[in-house]
């Protein structure tokens, strides 16, 4: 994915407890702040077992479970907080965000709407409700809700990022660029905004501007693997294979799981007739995404092209092996017909030589 929605964070609220803050809560908060979510969750759970009538410890326990990607447990904890304090908008917002992580968009929508009914002053509530509609591909409704978020918080650059994405998906390129410009006026250090605007420039074949934006994103965030990958693709389209390869390689050093970078670097190798290197990258991509039809097709293409070269060089057995590999990896793909034709011709030539 070259562009991303801005999601607001899960929220905690101040604890209202009589006397001093209990040690379990203090220790839980300290662990939560350090990012030790498992320890924090256990501490909050220990408190709720002793004092089950307080909603906020359940909420904070939910924050920890969500951070641990235990979404079922997070939703249960937030539900407990809601049961104890049904008029607290934060708890509905947090459960909705967990539902988003679970892909339960309709449940998320209902909770965000309830949060807004309880507190209509929060721009982040509207922003996240807009994200639900965006993920449901209802870009017009998402945009209307983002506009409401902008009314409440006109200086929030992340809302402009989401408005830009809506405009982009609706085909309003210039309007989308305008929203990215506004986001960067508010936050000139947003690597995400530069990356997304760069992708929009690339889509419009404004490749030099795309490279400039990707470079800004990388300068702001040197570990931004996706920006390196995107800049590599811009360089590739400009015909600069050396820089393209360098950027794809850097992207993979930063994120070895970035499947598309293997596919992209493999294309660079294939264009330079470096078939073994191309196949190595394509196979790594397929290993990381076994369902990728593109990876299978690229592998088949590399085998076919190498087989043709070997055939021209008189390496009949090696060529035959490559053509057979095409059929093995992608028997119904776009390169299979050519591979079958070459194999048929090789068999005919072999039969003629025996006569």
pLDDT for 20: 52
Tens digit of each residue's pLDDT (9 = 90 or more) over 51-87? 999 999 999 999 999 999 999 999 999 999 999 999 9
pLDDT for 76: 98
d(CA 61, CA 81): 10
48 — pLDDT class (breaks 50, 70, 90): very high
Tens digit of each residue's pLDDT (9 = 90 or more) over 115-127? 999 999 999 999 9
Q: Which of 110, 107, 155, 146 is nearest to 126 (CA)?
A: 146
pLDDT for 180: 97
Work out the mean pLDDT of the chain and round it to a whole number: 93
351 — pLDDT class (breaks 50, 70, 90): confident
Tens digit of each residue's pLDDT (9 = 90 or more) over 302-324? 999 999 999 999 999 999 999 99
Residues 6+ apart with CB under 8 A from 177: 164, 197, 200, 201
Q: Which of 57, 75, 55 is nearest to 65 (CA)?
A: 75
18 — pLDDT class (breaks 50, 70, 90): very low
Tens digit of each residue's pLDDT (9 = 90 or more) over 158-210? 999 999 999 999 999 999 999 999 999 999 999 999 999 999 999 999 999 99
Q: State the sign of the Cα–Cα–Cα–Cα dihedral 272, 275, 281, 283.
A: positive
For the chain, which domains are there?
23-119 (1.25.40.10)
- This prediction has a pTM of 0.86
pLDDT for 350: 80
pLDDT for 353: 66
User: Of all residues in the chain, what percent carry a pLDDT higher than 70?
Assistant: 93
pLDDT at 335 over 90: yes
d(CA 20, CA 232): 56
d(CA 336, CA 284): 21
pLDDT at 17 over 70: no
């Amino acid at each position: 994915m070259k562009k991303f929605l801005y999601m607001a964070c899960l929220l905690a609220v101040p604890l209202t407890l009589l006397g001093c803050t209990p040690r379990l809560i203090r220790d839980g908060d300290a662990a939560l702040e350090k990012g030790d979510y498992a320890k924090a969750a256990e501490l909050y759970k220990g408190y709720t077992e002793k004092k089950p009538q307080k909603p906020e410890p359940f909420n904070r326990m939910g924050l920890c479970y969500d951070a641990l990607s235990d979404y079922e447990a997070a939703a249960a904890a937030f539900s407990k907080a809601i049961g104890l304090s049904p008029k607290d908008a934060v708890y509905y917002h947090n459960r909705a965000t967990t539902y988003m992580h679970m892909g339960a968009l309709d449940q998320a929508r209902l909770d965000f709407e309830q949060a807004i009914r309880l507190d209509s002053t929060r721009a982040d509530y509207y922003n996240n409700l807009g994200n639900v509609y965006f993920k449901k591909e209802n870009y017009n409704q998402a945009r209307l809700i983002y506009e409401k978020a902008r009314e409440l918080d006109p200086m929030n650059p992340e809302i402009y990022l989401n408005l830009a994405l809506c405009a982009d998906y609706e085909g309003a390129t210039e309007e989308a660029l305008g929203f990215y410009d506004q986001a960067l006026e508010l936050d000139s250090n947003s690597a995400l905004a530069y990356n997304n605007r760069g992708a929009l420039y690339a889509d419009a074949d404004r490749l030099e501007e795309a490279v400039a934006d990707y470079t800004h994103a990388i300068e702001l965030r040197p570990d931004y693997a996706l920006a390196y990958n995107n800049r590599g693709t811009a360089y590739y389209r400009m015909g600069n294979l050396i820089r393209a390869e360098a950027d794809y390689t850097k992207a993979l050093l930063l994120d070895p799981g970035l499947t598309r970078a293997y596919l992209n670097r493999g294309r660079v190798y294939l264009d330079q007739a470096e078939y073994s290197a191309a196949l190595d990258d394509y196979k790594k991509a397929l290993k990381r995404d076994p369902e990728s039809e593109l990876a299978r097709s690229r592998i088949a293409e590399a085998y076919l092209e190498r087989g043709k070269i070997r055939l021209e060089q008189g390496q009949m057995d090696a060529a035959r092996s490559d053509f057979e590999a095409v059929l093995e990896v992608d028997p119904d793909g776009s390169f299979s017909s050519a591979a079958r034709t070459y194999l048929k011709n090789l068999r005919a030539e072999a039969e003629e030589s025996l006569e």
